[in-house]
Amino acid sequence: MSFKAAQISRTPYLPDRIAEQVKQEITEGHLEPGDRLPTEQSLAETYGVSRNVVREAIARLRNEGIVESRQGIGAFVALKPRPVLRLDHSNSLTSLARHQSLFELRTTLEVRAAQLAAVRCTPEDMREIERAYTEMERTMSWGKDGVEFDIAFHRAIAGATDNPFMLETIAFIAEHLRESIELTRTFSDINEVNAVTIQEHLDILNAIRNRDPVAAGQAMSTHLTNAAGRIGIPSED
């Protein structure tokens, strides 16, 4: 086995780029069916990214049936492709009802993710969440980068749960998540939504930093309820 890779620049959606790099290694024959992938730490050092980024990239490859994980051993190139469930991105969130369904799913997942992150996050996880928040705050114009870092913030929290299924599910709905965030900003006063959304994310970050799962869950619930309300979805409380 010969695995060749070079560091890549830090840009939004790094997990997707890492996944594509690993797929290229497989396509070019540097990694063959049955080969074990380098460890998360090794891949993180090779590409110059965090282990959370690598973990999410592997989750994507596993969801696509390209790699398979073996408990306590590591990730391996799949011996043969397997059928996988794929999100139909052609069916965009064109109705309020579909947005409401997405927010119901997000609330179920992300409130619990915030609670778990507050209990389980490592110093590296915390740095990843803080980095996403800092970049989101910096891009106050809410251009493309602002949306990507918003998504990165939520993905980093999912990664901090140390639950691969939580991370895979958040990654799985990321495309619809992006559309939802963009719509929220389209239908809101840009200056007002900037300040409010940044504060909501800061409340989540601080609760996780303080290792307070109750406050973290409440902050995430408040954020998602408010975000839904900004596009006209009424609260059911």
pLDDT for 13 equals 65
d(CA 171, CA 181): 15
pLDDT for 16 equals 81
pLDDT for 157 equals 95
**pTM: predicted TM-score of the whole model, two decimal places:** 0.68
Please give the helix or strand (H or E) that residue 223 lies within, else none: helix 213-229
d(CA 46, CA 143): 30
Ordered domains of the chain (ranges, CATH): 14-77 (1.10.10.10), 96-229 (1.20.120.530)
Q: Can you list the residues of the chain whose pLDDT is less than 50?
A: 8-12, 83-90, 92-93
Amino acid at 222: T
Does residue 56 contact residue 155 with C-beta atoms inside 8 Å?
yes
Of the candidates 25, 94, 110, 34, the one whose C-alpha atom is nearest the C-alpha of residue 68 is 34
Does residue 59 contact residue 66 with C-beta atoms inside 8 Å?
no
